[in-house]
Amino acid sequence: MKVLLRTIALGCMLSMVFTSLVKAQVTVTGMISDSNRLVLPYATITNLNSGKHSLSDQGGFYKISAAKNDRIVFTFVGYKPDTLIVSLSSGTQTANRVMEPAGRFLKGIEVTSQYTPYQMDSIERRNLYGYILDKPNQQLAGGSTPVGAGIVISPITRFSKNERQKRQFKKNYEEMEREKFIDSRFTPILVSRVTGLTGDSLHLFMRDNYPDYNTMRTIGNNDLLYWITDKYKAWMKKGNQQ
């Protein structure tokens, strides 16, 4: 009787293991691009059910393991998140994703009692990508790889591709954060109020006079108004019409 019970228990355990293995045998893959057909390298792919993360490569291609009905979220700084529900129970599911820009300009700037809209967005982005940003940069294999008698293999060699992807993502993130800060101060509402421009003329003026990050970090609010006014006068002298 004991032998029979042990056999049944063992069979149940093997069945559970087999079921678990079968459930995990789904590979979701494809290419990530935007509406202009530009590939998006270093986009983040997250399986919300398993907590696993992946990054697209320089060609925008990605791959992540999943199970049927898992929710996969695609994120890229400056673009709206995209979600996919895994429909297959095994094999490979190909899913190309076209991501939409989140919008270059903020609708307006209102200072709250604690955070500005830019600060709130920045905190949210930091929480979203913290699992990558908090990882320390490792030394890449190359000219500094140890040499000596026999064959010496650097432990970073195997992971240098992932390391390069991580470094590039951090660089893209920093550039996007700077752009978001500029947009939080150099807003259509403010520029329109100072210049009187609207519609296409407003967007053309802002495009032609987009400020650099250091200027927006150091200039005060009153000086920013004078800065916009000077840029507007110079812009109009070039023959631009409202």
User: pTM value?
Assistant: 0.55
Q: Which residue has the tokens 């789904």?
A: 26
pLDDT in tens, 8-33: 555 555 555 555 555 558 999 999 98
pLDDT in tens, 119-137: 777 777 777 777 777 777 7
- Please provide residue 207's backbone torsions phi and psi, each rounded to the nearest 5 degrees: -65, -45
Task: Point out the residues of the chain with pLDDT beneath 70.
Answer: 1-24, 103-117, 139-159, 240-242
> Is residue 145 within 8 Å of 97, Cβ to Cβ?
no
Q: Please tell me whether residue 131 adopts helix, strand or coil conformation.
A: helix
The per-residue pLDDT for 21 is 52
The per-residue pLDDT for 87 is 93
* DSSP, residue by residue, 161-200: HHHHHHHHHHHHHHHHHHHHHHHHHS-HHHHHHHH---HH
* DSSP, residue by residue, 68-85: TT-EEEEE-TTB--EEEE
Domains of the chain: 26-99 (2.60.40.1120), 117-237 (no CATH)
